[in-house]
Chains A and B, each alone.
Chain A
Amino acid sequence: MHQIIENYFNAQIIREAFPDVLQGFWVTVRAALSIIILGLGFGLGFALLRCINNRILNALIRFYIEIFRTMPQLVVLIFIYFGLPYAGIRLSAFFSTVVALSAVLAAFSAEIFWTAIVAVPRGQWEAAFALGFRRSQSLFFFILPQALRLALPLVTNRMIAITKGTAFGVAVSLQETLGSAQSVMAIKANPSPLILATFFYLLFFFPLVMFSRYTERHFSR
């Protein structure tokens, strides 16, 4: 018992690690928010582009979706950080993480949004046309609001799963929550900073998981 307190809840070490891990936590929050905005924005954009029904555009978007849905996030991240410099494209650890995870989230959410748009019954389109709305107007005023409701639970779950991947930033030595906790741990030879990092992660992700439960309950039926 004493050993557990000494190693995991060592107050002095937690106090000393706090500023570093907090700074890391801000990096995590910034990265996560950028990923959510970019990923969902591009995802919705791709889904809307598919509504234009251009065959070449659709093929390109589907190709993109298939690729980024099957690649592990870590593969995308490593490729961007270690592979792209050979092509003369050098991104910082932070931007590599944001770009990699946004690309993955965009692929998943594009597919979910598109599936949801298609899932809205045809009668809704026909009713909107009958009322004299043009195609784009019908899409934005009638179909999209219903589609977003349908998509919300799935998108929230995916969003959480992918933003949790900010911890993969460690692989490209990004000093986010986990990375900074690990370096303090290495210096102090005590794993208490990891508990601090766990606390910070749960602080951010637990409310999101609760929110996803809420969306599942209220938007699934």
Chain B
Amino acid sequence: MHLFLTNFFNISSLMPVQYLLWQGLRLTLLLSVVALPLAILCGLSVALLYSFAGKRVRRFMLVLIDLMRAFPVLMMLILIYYSLPFLGITLGGFSAVVAAIVLNNTGYFSEIFRAGLESIPVSQMEAAQALGFHRTKAMFYIILPQVLRRAAAPLASNSLELVKTTSIAGLVAIPELIRSAEIAQEQIYNPTPLSAVGIIFFVLLWPFSHLVSRLERGALRGRVDL
């Protein structure tokens, strides 16, 4: 037990390298704050385009969405970061990570919004238009608020996943939390920084993960009662 504590929870050895963790936390948060709104916005736009598109375009868009969902995010990042320079396009690590995460999550978010939009009865749109709403206005004032309510659980769960995905940044030399912890661990020959990162993520994300499971439980119950 003592050995376990000195190895994995050695606070005194953590002190000299703690600045690395703070810097990592800052980058992780920064990445999330930049990537999350972008991904949601892109996903929503794709879903709206889908809902206004014709039949053939829809089928094509569905394949694109599925391709994005089938693509491992790390593969996307490596493609962007290591192969685009061969074409003369060089992105910095930070923007490459944001681009990869946004592209990947656009697939997820657009699928969530698309399914949400599809679950709203057509009569809602017809009723709104009968009341004199323009199609776009009806979409924003009447359809979307309902979609947001219905899709709350998957939206929250996917946002949480996105924040967790920012950890891939470490693989292209952006010192976010995990990369910083690895550096710290190499400096002090002790895995305490790794445990610390686990704890930081837990403290940071647990409230959200709790919220997600509550929303999911509600959604599943709703399906049974129907």
Contact = CB atoms under 8 A, between A and B. Distances in A.
A208 B70 contact: yes
A161 B70 CA distance: 8
B83 A66 contact: no
Interface residues of B, number: 52
Nearest to A6: B86
B205 A213 contact: no
Given A83-B191, A167-B74, A66 B220 contact: no
A112 B212 CA distance: 12
Interface string A73-85: 1110011001100
Nearest to B224: A119
B191 A167 contact: no
Contacts of B83: 7-8, 185, 191, 194
A86 B191 contact: yes
A56 interface: no
Nearest to B202: A70
A214 B168 CA distance: 30
A213 B66 contact: yes
Contact of B198 (A79, A168, A185): A79
A6 to B, nearest CB: 9
Given A87-B7, A170-B74, A191 B82 contact: yes
A72 B162 CA distance: 10
B209 interface: yes
A110 B216 CA distance: 14
A87 B39 CA distance: 40
Given A87-B7, A161-B161, A213-B66, A74 B170 contact: yes
Chain A interface residue number, banded: 35 or more
A79 B194 contact: yes
Contacts of B78: 170, 178, 182, 194
A161 B185 CA distance: 29
Contacts of A171: 170-171
Given A178-B74, A205-B72, A75 B8 contact: no
Interface of B: 3-4, 7-8, 66-67, 69-75, 78-79, 82-83, 86-87, 115, 161, 164-165, 167-168, 170-171, 177-178, 181-182, 185, 190-191, 194-195, 197-198, 201-202, 205-206, 209-210, 213, 216-217, 220-221, 223-224, 226
Interface of A: 3-4, 7-8, 66-67, 69-75, 78-79, 82-83, 86-87, 111-112, 115-116, 118-121, 150, 154, 160-161, 164-168, 170-171, 178, 182, 185, 190-191, 194, 197-198, 201-202, 205-206, 208-210, 213, 216, 220-221
